[in-house]
Amino acid sequence: MTWKANILTLYPKVYPGYFEHSLFGSALEKKIWELNIYNLRDYGLGKHKKVDDKPFGGGAGMILRPDVLGNAIENTFIKKHKDQPLVYLSPKGKPFKQTDAKIFAKGSGVSILCGHFEGVDQRILDTFEIEEISIGDYILSGGEVASFTFLDSILRLLPGVLGNQSSLKEETFSNNLLEYPQYTKPQEYKDLEVPDVLLSGNHKEIKKWRKEISTEITIKKRPDLLNHDENDK
């Protein structure tokens, strides 16, 4: 079954962009995944296809109208992709983690609503079954850039996308640890040498060293990850 990425955006020409190249582009050609882009402007109002308006109560910026968004969602995501969960990328959403990426990758796909301006009318979030997701504690100009980050983390987990699936098992956030340091040729660079254990050929010792280093790095940089399982209980 082909995994589907469905995107509702004001800027359809942004896509496929990055996803047209390298491993993702190859996987797209092989139909491992499918990209469906919908232009929100097609559902705009009047001669100028208006999609936004001023916020009630005053304030800066413009808000995407619920009548426009609702009509677009019903005629794209609901009508054509009802089996895929609907996501709105927003700084107010639940923090996106690697475990979430794995869950989405195991499903049939995802439908993404790309916000813009000052966001969307709250009644859209109240009306439709939409999960708000944040990719970080910072603000972007629109959901398009966020969608690339969000989808990248999911697509690489799909079977057949990466050349070596086993590499996923030892990446950062696997087992709640940051990844160990990596080294390649030359063996010496600016008086810095590759750790002897990596040249030993002793795979048991190499595995042990990598686990120890990963733990040390995690304690130093992201101690919160070591308490992740306990915090989720």
pTM over 0.95: no
Half-sphere exposure of 97 (CA within 13 A, CB side): 10
| pLDDT over 90 (residue 176) | no
Q: Tell me the fold of 172-231.
A: Trp Operon Repressor; Chain A (1.10.1270)
In the predicted structure, residue 63 carries a pLDDT above the cut 80: yes
| Cα–Cα distance, 19 to 83 (Å, whole number) | 23
Bridge partners (DSSP) of residue 33 are: 3
Where are the alpha helices (H) located in 37-141, listed in sequence order?
66-73, 79-80, 98-106, 122-127
- Which amino acid type is present at position 55? P
Phi, psi of 164 (to 5 degrees): -125, 100
pLDDT value for 166: 62
User: In the predicted model, what is the mean pLDDT of residues 206-222?
Assistant: 94
Predicted confidence (pLDDT) per residue in 98-156, tens digit? 999 999 999 999 999 999 888 999 999 999 999 999 999 999 999 999 999 999 999 99
Residues of the chain with CATH 3.40.1280.10: 3-155
Averaged pLDDT, 160-166: 78
Q: What is the pLDDT of residue 170?
A: 59
Distance in angstroms (rounded) separating the CA atoms of residues 198 and 182: 10
pLDDT band at 233 (very low <50, low <70, confident <90, very high): very low
pLDDT of residue 174: 62
Round to whole Å and give the CA distance between 82 and 186.
52
| Average pLDDT over the chain, rounded to an integer | 92
Q: Which part of the chain has CATH 1.10.1270.20? A: 172-231
Cβ neighbours of residue 39 under 8 Å, at least 6 residues apart? 9, 10, 12
Burial 33-53 (b: 16+ CB within 10 A, else e): bebbbbbbbebbeeeeeebbb
Written as one letter, the residue type at 141 is: S
The whole-angstrom separation of Cα 207 and Cα 58 is: 59
Distance of alpha carbon 91 from alpha carbon 140, whole angstroms: 9
Q: Can you tell me the distance from the alpha carbon of 177 to that of 193, in angstroms, rounded to the nearest whole number?
A: 24
Question: For residues 140 and 90, what is the distance between their CA atoms, to the nearest angstrom?
Answer: 9
CATH number of 3-155: 3.40.1280.10
pLDDT at 169: 62
Summarised one tens digit per residue, pLDDT across range 69-97 is 999 999 999 999 999 999 999 999 999 99
